[in-house]
């Protein structure tokens, strides 16, 4: 017996980015009080699994798969970073500002760099928890606290700029002192 074919074929409507499809997606994406979409369950699950999956017995401290995967050189860090990139894609999808996105990317990059330090890197990664930090930034942004997130991001970039400028001045001073010592003490470069 042949299966019965439908009389009509309904083609799905093509949706533009940000255009809601009626009746679909409400289970995956909720709305904030202001009507903005909140992060998907995927971002929340990834942050939990990568940063807070296992509780260390006898403590309240949790670790995730990120520091555990970092124990496998190269491959583990790449897999864990891939999960973090998905959270960044969620942030892009929801329209987060570029400075906050750069801050989230910096968190992920710093965590990835931690993972490449033998033995101490996974420990630092377990304490830093970049995916949870990024999820918190994403949730605060979507909950309507854009001004607070922008202000804290601005303070972070200002502090980093101050540190970089201080280090540049310190290096320039050390170079000048080095040249002075070479010329006066050792007579190198003096004619």
How do the pLDDT tens digits run along the chain, 191 residues long? 555 655 665 555 555 555 554 444 444 444 544 455 555 678 888 899 999 989 999 999 999 999 998 888 778 888 888 889 888 888 888 788 888 888 899 999 898 888 888 888 889 999 999 999 999 988 888 887 777 877 888 787 887 788 888 888 988 999 998 888 888 888 777 66
By residue range, what is the domain housing residue 111?
Answer: 41-146
Residue 102 and residue 77 in one domain? yes
Query: Is 20 among the domain residues?
Result: no
Give domain status of residue 71, yes or no: yes
On whether both 171 and 141 belong to a single domain, the answer is no
Compute and round to an integer the Cα radius of gyration of the chain.
Answer: 25
In a domain, 73, yes or no: yes
Q: Determine, yes or no, domain membership for 34.
A: no
CB distance 148 to 103 below 8 Å: no
The total number of structural domains that make up the chain: 2
């Amino acid at each position: 017996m042949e299966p019965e074919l439908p009389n009509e074929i309904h083609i799905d409507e093509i949706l533009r980015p940000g255009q809601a499809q009626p009746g679909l997606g409400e289970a995956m994406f909720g709305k904030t009080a202001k009507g903005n979409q909140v992060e998907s369950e995927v971002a929340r699950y990834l942050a939990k699994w990568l940063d807070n999956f296992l509780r260390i017995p006898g403590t309240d401290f949790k670790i995730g798969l990120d520091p555990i995967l970092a124990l496998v050189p190269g491959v583990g860090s790449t897999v864990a970073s891939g999960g973090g990139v998905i959270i960044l894609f969620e942030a892009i999808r929801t329209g987060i500002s570029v400075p906050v996105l750069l801050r989230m990317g910096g968190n992920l990059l710093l965590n990835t760099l931690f993972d490449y330090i033998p033995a101490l890197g996974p420990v630092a990664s377990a304490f830093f928890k970049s995916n949870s930090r990024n999820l918190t930034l994403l949730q605060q942004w979507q909950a309507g606290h854009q001004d607070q997130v922008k202000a804290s991001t601005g303070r972070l970039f200002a502090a980093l700029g101050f540190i970089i400028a201080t280090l540049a001045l310190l290096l320039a001073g050390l170079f000048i002192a080095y040249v002075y010592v070479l010329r006066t003490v050792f007579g190198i470069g003096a004619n």
